Amino acid sequence: MAKKKRRMLGRAALTVLAAAFAIAFLLPTVLTITNSFMTKAEIDANYGIVFSGGAQGGSSTYMSETVNLKFIPDKVSLSQYWTTLFQSPEYLLKFWNSVILVVPIVLLQVAIAALAAYSFTRYRTKFKAVLFFFYVILMLMPYQVTLVPNYLVSDWLGILNTRWAIILPGAFAPFSVFLLTKFMRRIPKALIEAAKLDGAGEWQIFSRICLPQCRSALYSIAILVFIDYWNMVEQPLILLPDAEQQPLSVYLSTINAGEIGLAFAVATIYMIPSLLLFLHGEEYLVEGIAHSGSVKG
Amino acid sequence: MGKRFQKLNGRLREHIMSFGFLGPSLLGVGLFFIVPFGIVVYYSLIQSNLNPEFAGLQNFINLFENSSFRTAAKNTLMFSAMAVPLAVVLSLLLALMLECRIPAKSQFRTFFLSPMMVPVASVVLIWQVVFHYNGTLNVFLSVFGVDKIDWLKSDYCLIVILVLFLWKNLGYNMILFMANLNNIPKELLEVADVEGASAAYKFFAIKLRYLSPTVLFVTILSLINSFKVFREVYLLTGDYPFEGLYMLQHFMNNTFKSLDYQKLSAAAVIMAIAMVILIAILFLAEDRFGRDVEG
């Protein structure tokens, strides 16, 4: 009896601990969203001290000495969104910049990777094994290494400071190849042999058997790639220094004190695509992450 | 003879087909990564692009004598040395926690995973509000009589960034551990139960051994992600952060601005070599530790 009681207590303590973690994990996101519904005046009053750089002589608006992080706005207002969407076109423009950088990268990377993964799966020669090992090494290299070669080629091709300098290296990044190959190797060989006996060609085996079998993997990889590039900072700073073309993931930080009222709304808008993908595809995403679980084999 | 020829022909065709599928990827990887990396290695060994004389290791020596490089390398190394072990241990603990019988597990999983989808740029506003000199954390601490600290410009700056790193990355790692905890043979744990093994014994002698490939993977992943923490630092503090937050990526950015090819190339080559060595060490360590379960 005492043992049972102790176990109950332990479980309760764990639940509380989990809840505490959950709050810590959720709070920054939730706060960003709730704060986006404040009026400009309220934001200025609460956070002005942080973003104005301290002294602001002669300001007519009331400003708190210290910040006042608030969970719920005094008055729920859509004014930040209104201003962002209809009066500050530069943010929407930067959002669009993000879209036209990231969407081609996701589509191209997954498509090119699907073909390559098929090749790595179907014909396993010694040479291919070595090649695959190279892909893995390349995948593990941080941006500090890969950006230098990327820069040299972009310069040579004359695409530096254009979108292609980011899209093309992204399209060929080996991450998806690695993950998709791991998925495709799980497809039963018998399935492919049977199709072959029925006279299916390579392209048919690829498009009618492999791709449908990997549908959920393709989706989860697309989400992972999207999240990664939607968050890009390193590449645009070096390969696309033109501020006009930079994605919102970089531009958002340059928001100035005068427009801080907008920042939370812009931040929330920027979260929406990845938030939606996450909520819609969480099961696939978890499965995709789980299967990526080993660099071996 | 004819049949054999046909078979050979078929295999040849398969090979050609297979490279057809690999072609686009191989072409791109070669063009954007492998060939230019060869050029980077070449650049790192010559005097200058105008004077392509073999320079031996001079560029590397110059690099190590460069004080900004040393600061950046030291900070990055220190950050990774703190962040990687913590990321591994804490995410394993989270996974073990969700293994226990607690309610609303799948909701907890969602909550823990959610930071990975939030772009750094979006959440950086809240971090600024929290860690500013007049920010929430200082307001909170002042209740306990702690003096104000300018967190991002103090000796604690790396710890602040560490918190942001863990916040973003623990969920992903946790999923990896959860998936592989499920793969441990149940019979083994049941036998251990019958024989009266303690929870600690079960964890260290059974679970951790089976998890060792995952520990390796999570370690490598966290290492790579620890280099991406530049994002947080840059978006919080810009091009010229407090010295304690000057990362290798800052150094690269500034070197790109002056376009010193030799310095850039030498730094990239050094980083690549360091990564390969680190990963090789991790592989060997895992090989030793997990040997008897994989066979």
Q: Is residue A136 part of a domain?
A: yes
- Domain of residue A277: give its range: 86-291
Q: Is residue A53 part of a domain?
A: no
Q: Is residue A224 part of a domain?
A: yes
> Using a CB-CB distance cutoff of 8 angstroms, which residues of chain A are in contact with residue B238?
253
Which of A33-37, A51-55, B80-84 is predicted with the least confidence, judged by mean pLDDT?
A51-55
- A249 vs A79, more confident: A249
Amino acid identity, position A2: A
Please report which confidence band the pLDDT of residue A172 belongs to, taking 50, 70 and 90 as the band edges.
Answer: very high
State the fold for domain B67-294.
MetI-like fold (1.10.3720)
Please report, for the domain that includes residue A275, its CATH number.
Answer: 1.10.3720.10
Tell whether B77 lies on the interface with A, counting CB pairs under 8 A.
no
Q: Is residue A167 part of a domain?
A: yes
Task: Give the separation between CA B71 and CA B60, rounded to whole angstroms.
Answer: 16
The answer to whether the complex's ipTM is over 0.90 is no
**Spans of chain B, pLDDT less than 70:** 1-10, 290-295
CA distance A87 to chain B (A): 20
Instruction: Report CB contact under 8 Å: B176, A250.
Output: no
Contact residues, A window 23-62, toward B, CB-based 8 Å cutoff: 24-26, 28-29, 31-32, 35, 47, 49-51, 54
Mean pLDDT for the stretch of residues A30-35: 87
Closest chain B residue to A230 measured between Cα atoms?
Answer: B119
Tell whether B112 lies on the interface with A, counting CB pairs under 8 A.
yes
Provide the pLDDT for residue B282. Answer: 85
Provide the pLDDT for residue B12. Answer: 74
> Using a CB-CB distance cutoff of 8 angstroms, which residues of chain A are in contact with residue B25?
112-113, 115-116, 172, 174, 177
Contact A235, B103 (CB under 8 A): no
What is residue A66's three-state secondary structure?
A: coil
Residue of A26, A290, A268, A272 whose CA lies nearest to B110: A26
Instruction: Report CB contact under 8 Å: B127, A28.
Output: yes
Residue of B246, B271, B232 whose CA lies nearest to B128: B232
Please report which confidence band the pLDDT of residue A58 belongs to, taking 50, 70 and 90 as the band edges.
Answer: very low
Provide the pLDDT for residue B152. Answer: 80
Residue of B211, B129, B97 whose CA lies nearest to A45: B129
Contact residues, A window 145-204, toward B, CB-based 8 Å cutoff: 145-153, 168-169, 171-172, 174, 177, 202
Q: Is residue A20 part of a domain?
A: no
Please report which confidence band the pLDDT of residue A256 belongs to, taking 50, 70 and 90 as the band edges.
Answer: low
Q: Is residue A265 part of a domain?
A: yes
Query: DSSP code of A139?
Result: H
Task: Give the separation between CA A71 and CA B72, rounded to whole angstroms.
Answer: 37
Q: Is residue A107 part of a domain?
A: yes
Note the pTM of the prediction, 2 decimals.
0.88
Residue B15 has which token pair?
């090979």
Instruction: Report CB contact under 8 Å: A144, B227.
Output: yes
Contact B76, B227 (CB under 8 A): yes
Provide the pLDDT for residue B36. Answer: 92
Q: Is residue A297 part of a domain?
A: no
Mean pLDDT of the residues in chain A: 83
Buried/exposed A95-120: b ≥16 CB within 10 Å, e otherwise = bebbeebbebbbebbbebbbbbbbbb
